[in-house]
Structure 1
Amino acid sequence: MDSSAVNFNVTVDDFDSVLAYADQSVWTTPDPSSSDYHPESSPWLLGTFHKTSTVNASVSFNFTGPALFIYGFSGPEYGSYEVELDGSSTTASAYSSINGSTPHLLYGTSNLTYGEHELILRNLGALSSNGDGDGSSLLFDFLRFTVQLAPSGCVTMLSVILELILSCSASVSNTTIQEDDSSLTYTGTWGSNTSGNFSGGGSSYTNGDNATVSFPFNGSAVYVFGDKKNDHGLYGVVLDNGTEQIFDGISGCGGAFGQTCEQQQPTLAYFASNLAEGEHSLKITNMAGVNQSYFDLDSIVLTIPSSYAPRTLMNGSDSSGSAGNSTSGSGSGSSSSSTNAALTSQPMSFASTHGFMFIIFAMVWLSRR
């Protein structure tokens, strides 16, 4: 990871559609639409989690970046789990004779190559070799991964009077586009919802097959947020006319296509980073099918840097990371706010050691003129 760059920890909650559960039916979750749902007093991020006692139940996630941290819970009812990252596996246990602290770091690494990575988190049940006792469950709360939003903040310049100047002005800002913004183009039939949980107070929705929303944008990263409910389903996302990526917007409790288990707190429907300077395009297509499933668009957040320098992506991992028996990492713990969970982490900008040495060198050089 380039510590001199503007780096940011993106948070992915267990309800976010960028995650793929192999079988939602073997996981239990709280119902965010129930009357006893109180995220502000919950130890879990946004008041939700996914828990399973089924051996080999799994959740997968594809991401680009050099660091990853996965959080869950430890205690007497929890057992062993496997973290498979780019084909390499690490086995650990969340078993403890007493309930642990929240959040519990299930796995963490900050030495990955800056490239595309594939994660699978899998429940292994109770393994006597890991001293699990009777614990056989796995609880997944959220994960965080690191992306670079802008290059090093320090840029060497030569002024018109031939003085070397070190400019440390790189910065990033976020711009939110609401669902009714004029830059969005809708096709098919769309309706509108209102709720205080939505960004800006509203969202657009459709259950039309192949209904689309598209928009042009500039930025180094883009987040798409939406509602999540049991009557939601598959949708496709195309960035810059590339290969379509398929995601599933169905929520994880209450039975498929029921009018329950709605998470109106903004959930992450799509994310992309490491984008070059210039105009990009994004198109989202609802795949309603015979079930006439829905897609909801809440808002879009664009990260706009003061300068661009996309990383050259590399394959593979540099480190197997660490797993289990730890409660610290890059994340700062759970948040009970109703803001976008993906944006709750703060950007990290570090002064470059090489830049500092250059300042000293430049000062010495100028003093000798």
Structure 2
Amino acid sequence: MDSTAVNTNVTIDDFDSVLAYDDQAVWVTPDPSSPTFNASASPWMRGTYHQTETKAASLSFNFTGPAIYIYGLLGPGQGSFEVDIDSVASTHSAYQTVNATSSSLLYFVSNLTFANHNLVLRNLGAVSSNGDKGGNAFLLDYISTTIQLAPAGATVQNKTYQEDDPAVTYTGTWGHNTSPAFSGGGTSYTNADQASASLSFYGSAVYVMGDKKDDHGIYSVQLDSNSPLFYDGVSGCGGAFGLTCEQQVPTLKFLASNLDSSQHTLKVTNFAGVNQSYFDLDSIVVAIPSVYAPRQLSNSSSPFVNGTTGSTTPSHTASVSSSSGGAAKSSAAAPAISNPLLLLVFTMLLAYRNFRR
């Protein structure tokens, strides 16, 4: 990482759609739309987490950058988990004799090449050789990473396009919701198939924010002439179309960085299907640098600088294995049916309230 450049930390919450859960049904989550939900009284970011006791349950995340940090629970009921970065896998344990009272760093690596990377987290359950005592659980709170927005000496300003900004153009039928939890107080929503929202912009990074609920579904994001990337916006609790498990505090629906100085076009399309699933747009945030200097992505066969493996939390390391690994080359990584990349820390301390269209 170029420490002299303008870098920013990115926080990916467990509810963000840029995380792709292989099977949401095997993960347990709190319901942010429950009347008893109180994020401020929870030790977890935004009051949510994803926990599983199913062996081989997994999630994936595509990102571009040199570092990744994984946070969750350390405790007696926790087992081991596998971290796979570009097909280089390592095994770690989240076991300790007493439960941690707050979110703990489970794994980190800060010597990745500057490239597009694919992270897969997999629950292994109790592994006695790692010192586990029988608990099969794995709990994810959030993932953090670092991206570069501009070269050394530059300045960066964020511009937020709210859903009702004239620069955002819509096709198909869209409605409007209001809530104090939304950025700017409102969102645009649709359950029309192929309904879309588009924005042309200049910037080195772009982030799409929106509501998340169990009646949401598949959507795509196309940046410039790149192939559309597909994501699943359904939330992880309450059962499909139970009209519960809504997270109104804006979640990350898409992110891309390392963009050049040309004008870019972003298009988000809802794939409603037979269930007429919804998509909600809260805002689009663009990072605008005073100087552009997109970095050349590494084409190394190893995800690690100098081919060395990454770091892990002290006393929680086990084994490392590898198969052929290689980084893709694009400015936006792939997503949930093809995952994406990273972004600014959107820690929004906004009110949590129920609502519906």
TM-score range, shorter chain: 0.7 to 0.9
- Pair 1:171-2:155 in alignment: yes
Whole-angstrom distance in 1 between the partners of 2:98 and 2:348: 24
Q: Deviations over 1:32-59 (max 9, x none)?
A: 0001111112110010000000000001
- Pair 1:230-2:214 in alignment: yes
- The one-letter code matched in structure 2 to 1:16 is D
- What aligned pairs does 1:155-304 form with structure 2 within 5 A after superposition? 170-304=154-288
- Pair 1:92-2:92 in alignment: yes
Say which one has the larger Rg: 1
- What is the deviation of 1:9? 0.8
Instruction: Report the counterpart of residue 337 of structure 2 in structure 1.
Output: none
Q: Deviations over 1:85-133 (max 9, x none)?
A: 0100110100111112422111101111100000000000001111110
Whole-angstrom distance in 2 between the partners of 1:291 and 1:325: 47
- What is the deviation of 1:320? 2.4
TM-score, normalised relative to structure 2: 0.87
- What aligned pairs does 1:29-178 form with structure 2 within 5 A after superposition? 29-153=29-153, 170-178=154-162
Whole-angstrom distance in 1 between the partners of 2:233 and 2:312: 29
Instruction: Report the counterpart of residue 165 of structure 1 in structure 2.
Output: none
Whole-angstrom distance in 1 between the partners of 2:347 and 2:209: 18
- The one-letter code matched in structure 2 to 1:338 is L
Rate the CA distance shift 1:75–1:112 in 2: closer, same or farther, 3 A: same
Whole-angstrom distance in 1 between the partners of 2:226 and 2:128: 47
Q: Deviations over 1:305-352 (max 9, x none)?
A: 11000000114312422234479xxxxx9968239xxxxxxxxxxxxx
- The one-letter code matched in structure 2 to 1:121 is L
Task: Count residues in correspondence.
Answer: 318
- Pair 1:317-2:317 in alignment: no
On the 8 A contact 1:65/1:147 being kept in 2, the answer is: yes
Whole-angstrom distance in 2 between the partners of 1:137 and 1:187: 44
Whole-angstrom distance in 1 between the partners of 2:270 and 2:190: 8
On the 8 A contact 1:71/1:140 being kept in 2, the answer is: yes
Rate the CA distance shift 1:286–1:326 in 2: closer, same or farther, 3 A: farther
On the 8 A contact 1:42/1:336 being kept in 2, the answer is: no
Whole-angstrom distance in 2 between the partners of 1:142 and 1:252: 15
Whole-angstrom distance in 2 between the partners of 1:122 and 1:334: 26
Whole-angstrom distance in 1 between the partners of 2:313 and 2:261: 40
Quote the sequence identity (%).
60
Whole-angstrom distance in 2 between the partners of 1:254 and 1:26: 12
Q: List, as ranges, runs of 4+ consecutive aligned residues in structure 1 with deviation greater than 4 Å.
A: 333-336
Instruction: Report the counterpart of residue 349 of structure 2 in structure 1.
Output: 337
- Pair 1:2-2:2 in alignment: yes
On the 8 A contact 2:17/2:231 being kept in 1, the answer is: yes
On the 8 A contact 1:43/1:334 being kept in 2, the answer is: no
SS in 2 for 1:106: strand
Whole-angstrom distance in 1 between the partners of 2:350 and 2:125: 33
- What is the deviation of 1:137? 0.3
TM-score, normalised relative to structure 1: 0.84
Whole-angstrom distance in 1 between the partners of 2:2 and 2:134: 43
- The one-letter code matched in structure 2 to 1:242 is N
Instruction: Report the counterpart of residue 13 of structure 1 in structure 2.
Output: 13
User: Is the helix fraction higher in 1 or 2?
Assistant: 1
- The one-letter code matched in structure 1 to 2:349 is S
Whole-angstrom distance in 1 between the partners of 2:227 and 2:204: 19
Whole-angstrom distance in 1 between the partners of 2:2 and 2:247: 36
Consecutive unaligned residues of structure 1, counting only runs of 5 or more, are: 154-169, 328-332, 340-369
On the 8 A contact 1:209/1:292 being kept in 2, the answer is: yes
SS in 2 for 1:310: coil
Rate the CA distance shift 1:91–1:136 in 2: closer, same or farther, 3 A: same
Whole-angstrom distance in 1 between the partners of 2:180 and 2:309: 43
Q: Deviations over 1:270-291 (max 9, x none)?
A: 0000000021000000010001
